[in-house]
Chain A
């Protein structure tokens, strides 16, 4: 398996633009997680899905952020409009139902909003 695949690896955009981050989880994993990492706030869970259904989106910072999982093999995190304070590394991770296995993380997307 190729692991969790995120794209793009880097994204630079201007304030006010729409940004879409993409994630392909490991086949067979039924849970998908979106995290944001910054120096100030560390790792923050934004939202997670179980069997394509959002379970907890309490970490989504505001309405500018939205996430979808239309099928078991694809998820997106969208920021519209983007702001400089959204600059961070965004990780996607997937997990089987059994908690013992932990998460497998993607390589992250470094987002810079100028």
Chain B
């Protein structure tokens, strides 16, 4: 079974600095998708960035970028120029790409990293 591990329960960063959140996963599949979701205090789950496993190029979305290391099964999130609004719980998630039996695949979430941004 696939698993997602986020080994940092909490992180802290100074405003305007850069922080990296770690995520590792375990799978025997070769084709899959990886995601980072943000959950601010409002509790809304927001998709931050996604990566396709067969693409070597790391995804970027403005100040957010990932470091995808397929062989190491690592998918870290880098937040540059951190802002107060980045304070949130961040979840890493995995989704198998191959669909068996016609049903879509579920997301498998890590336990989350709580990011604090210090002014």
Contact = CB atoms under 8 A, between A and B. Distances in A.
B40 to A, nearest CB: 12
A108 B43 contact: yes
Interface of A: 30-31, 33, 42-43, 45, 48, 50, 55-56, 89, 91, 93, 95-97, 99-100, 102-105, 107-108, 110
Interface range for B: 20 to 34
18 contacts: A30-B104, A42-B109, A43-B91, A50-B102, A89-B43, A95-B104, A96-B104, A99-B33, A99-B95, A99-B105, A100-B52, A102-B33, A102-B37, A102-B50, A102-B95, A103-B45, A105-B44, A107-B44
Contact of A42 (B35, B95, B103, B112): B112
B107 interface: yes
Nearest to A108: B43
Interface of B: 32-33, 35, 37, 42-47, 50, 52, 91, 93, 95-97, 99, 102-107, 109, 111-112
